[in-house]
Amino acid sequence: MNRQELIDAMAKETGLSKKETEACLKAFIDVTGKTLKKGGEVSLVGFGTFKVGKRAARNGQNPQTGAKIKIPAAKVPKFKAGKGLKDLVNGAKKK
């Protein structure tokens, strides 16, 4: 599903216009990105948690030339699925 398909599906589900839905999605993406940039996390109970992880510096190899390269340390966004999302994906039924 691409961005426009997501907006269409969300608009249909909520009854909002596509323009309003697109604004909501953009706001969610912006707020989540800004929060992660500050080192925070966004937790949606039952869905999952977005947070920032750290990747250590390491040595690598250029696949075209075979030359050794140093890959610097980096912050990487991570998502951990919550129980509700895992159950939904696995077809678990609600009690």
Low-confidence ranges of the chain (pLDDT < 70): 93-95
pLDDT digits (tens, 9 = 90+) for 11-35: 999 999 999 999 999 999 999 999 9
For the chain, the residue count is: 95
Domain, as residue range, for 23: 1-38
- Residue 48 makes CB contacts below 8 A (sequence gap 6+) with 79, 80, 81, 82, 85
pLDDT for 95: 57
34 shares a domain with 6: yes
- CA dihedral (67, 73, 76, 81) positive or negative: positive
29 shares a domain with 2: yes
Please tell me whether the overall predicted TM-score, pTM, comes out greater than 0.85 for this model: no
CB atoms closer than 10 angstroms to residue 7: 21
55 shares a domain with 27: no
